[in-house]
Chain A
């Protein structure tokens, strides 16, 4: 039982490059989320998908786009990476949007 799988685990980008972070869950959850975690700050929501076919902005969406490819997969795209996007990114899922989330193991992204 894998839970929430994120790829890649580590990535270094140059300023202006683009990349897509992948996330897949095998728990048949309806809701999926992308968070970033920075030192001294709580987890901050970038985008979420309450159900397949819907996506909405969270607290810090600027510079990011998302795609809910199907019920299992939710990807996060950085179109033109900036040093301010250096962070650890976590994908999470929940069955209904209420209650606790299941998190992936994270992607550590460095933009130079």
Chain B
């Protein structure tokens, strides 16, 4: 069964304290791995797409990396406004459809 597992479920950081979120996946044929940010009461906001092992993407204090079995979202010197739930999703072909499976997210809290 295809799975996407995110860890930790929740993470509390001091402002400026760097850390990483993990997304491990088991799918038959990865077409893409996505990271989203979700604020309370809002829809997920697309951050990055990674397509192949070794690929990296950066945006401000966030950097996403990909291996054959997992992805990391590195947060460097986080600020309180980085507090949100971060979702990982993987895309694979499934018949005529590009199936997307979401993880349950990591809830990040950055304390001033």
The interface of chain A, by Cβ under 8 A from chain B, is 4, 40-45, 48, 50, 56, 90, 92, 97-106
Contact = CB atoms under 8 A, between A and B. Distances in A.
B87 interface: yes
Contact of A100 (B43, B49, B96, B97): B49
Given A42-B4, A98-B91, A103 B104 contact: no
B98 to A, nearest CB: 5
Contacts of B34: 99-100
Contacts of B91: 98
Interface residues of B, number: 26
A90 B1 CA distance: 24
A103 B45 contact: yes
Residues of B contacting A: mostly: strand
Contacts of A104: 43
Contact of A43 (B31, B96, B102): B102
Given A40-B104, A50-B97, A98 B87 contact: no
Contacts of A44: 102
B100 interface: yes
B104 A102 contact: no
Contacts of B98: 97-98
B105 to A, nearest CB: 8
Given A42-B103, A98-B32, A98-B91, A103 B43 contact: yes
A23 to B, nearest CB: 11
